[in-house]
Amino acid sequence: MAVSSSVYALGLEAQFKKTVAGDMESTNVSVLLVDDTSTPDFAADDFRNDINGEIANGNGYATGGKALAATPSWTVGAPAAADRIFYDADDPSWATSTITDAMGIVAFYSTGTDTTDNLFVMSDFGSAVSTANGTLTVTFDTPANGGLYYVDFTP
């Protein structure tokens, strides 16, 4: 479903400086859904309170994020590309939901407070996705195909 990803620069910087609330392989990574009114600023947005356009609360979706079910992980040099490091996690889903026009997913380190939840990546679905009392599942690629996102070290 996700067709392109962008990294929030300040979230990546916080990770490198170890000022983030957790680390990317901790269990406090959460995701939220946004609609087409979302206008991310990948250079300036740093915390969840900077996100606009989150899908409205209710009908099987709770605002503020959904914790990923299993510990996310890094894979270095997956079979398809030895010069990349891939980030992957279990596929999040919202069962029995009625969601209108979800356009992307934002991943962040959850502290439980929107002013300290560090953003790190947004994936754009490419087109709107909706459910009507159904299950919306965001399927992350396998690490060999990119995972949630990857960093390419090709010179």
| pLDDT > 80? residue 69 | no
Rounded-to-integer distance, Cα 11 and Cα 109, Å: 9
The enclosing H or E element of 86 equals strand 84-88
Between 146 and 50, the more confident residue is: 50
Report the pLDDT value the prediction gives residue 141, as an integer from 0 to 100.
76
| pLDDT > 70? residue 144 | no
How would residue 2 be classed by pLDDT, with cut points 50, 70 and 90?
very low
Q: Max CA-CA distance within the chain?
A: 47
**Which DSSP category does 116 fall into?**
T
Determine what percent of the chain is predicted with pLDDT higher than 70: 80
Q: pTM value?
A: 0.86
Report the pLDDT value the prediction gives residue 143, as an integer from 0 to 100.
61
Report the pLDDT value the prediction gives residue 55, as an integer from 0 to 100.
97
Residues 6 or more apart in contact with residue 106 via CB below 8 angstroms = 31, 32, 33, 34, 40, 48, 51, 119, 121, 122
Report whether 123 contacts 2 (CB < 8 A).
yes
